Amino acid sequence: MRPEHRRTGGLSGAGSERIASGIHFSARVVQAGRVTTMRLQGEIDIVAVLELHPVLREFTSRPAPALAIDLRPVTFIDCTGLTMLVEIRRYASVRGARVGVVCDDPRALRTMAVVGLSTVLCPGPTPEAALAAERAGAPLPAGTGALRDTARDAGPAAKRPGTASSTDTKSTARRVTE
């Protein structure tokens, strides 16, 4: 399925462009001043990621972009969606670009915290806050994939599915409550 490109009237009186859509998701881009906001809507799963990832890479390849990825209209995001966000942020940071994640949904924020991505993605409630949080946030973990790095750093129990020591459980609980 190829991305659909369509110019529409839009958010806050500004024009928006639909850059991708599928059965359960869509993505629109809104330019407001120096910030480009990509508003994702619906379910961000592996099907959506296959279409969105190349589009996001294109946007972060532009000269000195500031891109806010707005997850507020998202109803579901799985591990492939979270991985895409980490990879896009890493790709952008290597090129000197900034990517902020806009999210105010307690369920999505808790999921990010549980898997250890709150300090990697640095979500904020608005595009401006997300970009400010990204600027002040922790550096991205080194390596080929942030989720693989997190598992490696967690120790042997993280590498064996179905095993968890009380120490792992306590550290996860501590990260969620922080």
161 and 120, same domain (yes or no): no
pLDDT tens figures, 87-103 = 999 988 888 888 999 99
171 and 84, same domain (yes or no): no
48 and 134, same domain (yes or no): yes
The CA distance from 15 to 28, in Å, is 10
Kindly report which listed range (2-11, 126-135, 139-148, 163-172) carries the lowest average pLDDT score: 2-11
Using DSSP, state whether 176 is helix, strand or coil.
helix
Radius of gyration of the chain (CA): 17
* pLDDT at residue 139, as a whole number: 55
Q: Which two tokens stand for residue 124?
A: 């904020």
110 and 169, same domain (yes or no): no
Using DSSP, state whether 124 is helix, strand or coil.
strand
The CA distance from 99 to 62, in Å, is 12
* pLDDT at residue 116, as a whole number: 94
17 and 67, same domain (yes or no): yes
Q: Which domain holds residue 156?
A: 145-178
The CA distance from 51 to 55, in Å, is 7
The CA distance from 12 to 24, in Å, is 24
100 and 172, same domain (yes or no): no
Instruction: Give the CATH number of the domain where residue 29 resides.
Output: 3.30.750.24
Residue 79 pLDDT exceeds 90: yes
65 and 119, same domain (yes or no): yes
* pLDDT at residue 32, as a whole number: 80
